[in-house]
Amino acid sequence: MLQVSLYRYNPETDDAPYMQDFSVDTEGRDLMVLDVLELIKAEHDGSVTYRRSCREGVCGSDGLNINGKNGLACISPLSESVKNNKLVIRPLPGLPVIRDLVVDMSLFYAQYEKVQPYLQNATPAPAIERLQSPEERAQLDGLYECILCACCSTSCPSFWWNPDRFIGPAGLLQAYRFLADSRDTATEERLAKLDDPFSVFRCHGIQNCVNVCPKGLNPTKAIGHIRGMLLSRAT
Amino acid sequence: MVTSVTSFSRTGLSDWLIQRITSVILLAYFVFVAYQLGASVDYTSWKDLFDQTWVKVFTLLAALSLAAHSWIGLWSVFTDYLTERLLGPVGNVLRLLCQLGASLALVVYVIWVVVIVWS
C-alpha cells in the first residue's frame, strides 16, 4: 500500500491547513501521481480538491509540489516520485491556497500580462502572413513550448518574496519569446519596461526553474539573453 | 517597470553590471593581498608596500568596490525579506532602518580605509 500524505485546507471549515494520510492500493502498477489523486477522490475522500484537465502534460493544470519538487501530476510516474513508499503532495508553493491543492494564480497571470505576450508589429499587415526564415523561426524553439503550469515560478525564491515585482521565470521566458521573434517590432519598448532592479534582475540564476520545468525548458538561459539585450542597447 | 529609490544606481542593469565589475576588482585585490601574505611579511616590508601610491589607489578602489558590492547585495536581501508584503507596515520601517544602518556603516568603513591608508 502506498502511503500518501495530502495537504488539506478548506477555508470555510478549517482554521489552518493540515496533512491527511491515505493508504492507496496501486496494485503494483507504476501509476502517475494524478492517477493516485483520482483513486483517493474516487475511493477514499470525494472532497479532495485539485485541478486537472488533459492528463497528458499539455494543459498545465495539475502543477503540484510532489515530494518536495514541483511537477505535473499527470506525467510524474510513481517510480520517479515516491521515496520510501511515501508520497507527499502539496500545492504549488508561494501562491495563496484556495482549497486543498488549488492555488490562486492571479499574481502569476498578472506578471505574465506585464510582458505583453502577443506579437506587436507597427508595419502594415501583409495580405497573407508575416514570413520568417527557418533560422528566424528556430530562434523561438525552447520558448514557445511553455504551457504556463507555474511549476518554475513557484519554485523560485525570488518569486516567493516578490511575486508582485519580479516577473518570474515563466513570464520572462515569454518576454524573451517575443524579444526573439523577428516579426515583433516592439523590442525597444519591451526592453525599456524590464530595466528596473526587480522585473528581470531579481533573478540570481539558481536555476530551480530549469530543474523543475516539465517541458525541459530553460528560463535561466532566456533571462541571460534578456540581460545581454539590455546590455547591448545600453550606453 | 518597478520604481525604486533606494537601489544603488536605480536601474537593474547598472546594479547588475557594477556588482560583477566590483567582484572582479575584489577578487584581484584579495589575490594580491594573499600573495603578499604568502611571502614573508614583517612590519617594514608591509609599510613599504603600502607606501606605494598604486597600492593605496588599489586599496581605495577595493574599499569602494566592497561598499558598492555590499550595498547592492544587502539591498537585495532587505527588499526580499523586510517588506510590507511579508511583515505588514512594520516591514517598510524595518527595511528603511536596516538600509540606513548599512549605508552608514559602509560610508564609515570607506572613510576609515582612507584615513588608514592615506594618512
What ipTM was predicted for this assembly?
A: 0.84
**Among residues A56, A38, A166, which one has the least CA distance to residue A108?**
A166
Interchain CB distance below 8 Å, B2 and A198: yes
Domain B8-118, second-level architecture: Up-down Bundle (1.20)
Cell readout for A8 is 488539506
Count CB-CB contacts under 10 A for residue A68: 10
**B contacts of A200 (beta carbons < 8 Å):** 12
**B contacts of A201 (beta carbons < 8 Å):** 12-13, 15-16
Sequence ranges of the domains in chain B: 8-118
pLDDT on residue A234: 83
Q: Which residue of A has its CA nearest to B12?
A: A197
Residue burial A5-44, b: 16+ Cβ < 10 Å; e: rest: ebbbbeeeeeeeeeeeebebebeeeebbbbbbbbbbeeee
| Model pTM score | 0.91
Say how far apart CA A61 and CA A73 lie, in whole Å.
9
**A contacts of B12 (beta carbons < 8 Å):** 194-201, 230
pLDDT on residue B10: 74
Can you give chain A as a three-state secondary structure string?
CEEEEEEECCCCCCCCCEEEEEEECCCCCCCEHHHHHHHHHHHCCCCCCCCCCCCCCCCCCCEEEECCEEEEHHHCEHHHHCECCEEEEECCCCCCEEECCEECCHHHHHHHHHCCCCCCCCCCCCCCCCCCCHHHHHCCCCCCCCCCCCCCHHHCHHHHHCCCCCCHHHHHHHHHHHHCCCCCCCHHHHHHCCCCCCCCCCCCCCCHHHHHCCCCCCHHHHHHHHHHHHHHHCC
Nearest CB to B2 within list A157, A199, A230? A199
pLDDT on residue B1: 64
Q: Are B12 and B2 in contact (CB under 8 A)?
A: no
Nearest CB to A201 within list B15, B81, B83? B15
Interchain CB distance below 8 Å, B13 and A164: no
The tens place of each residue's pLDDT in chain A, 235 residues long, gives: 999 999 999 999 999 999 999 999 999 899 999 999 999 999 999 999 999 999 999 999 999 999 999 999 999 999 999 999 999 999 999 999 999 999 999 999 999 999 999 999 999 999 999 999 999 999 999 999 999 999 999 999 999 999 999 999 999 999 999 999 999 999 999 999 999 999 999 999 999 999 999 999 999 999 999 999 999 988 7
- Any CB–CB contact under 8 A between B1 and chain A? yes
Q: Which of A166, A198, A204 to mutate to test the interface with B (most CBs of B within 10 A)?
A: A198
**End-to-end alpha-carbon separation of chain B, Å?**
45
**A contacts of B10 (beta carbons < 8 Å):** 197
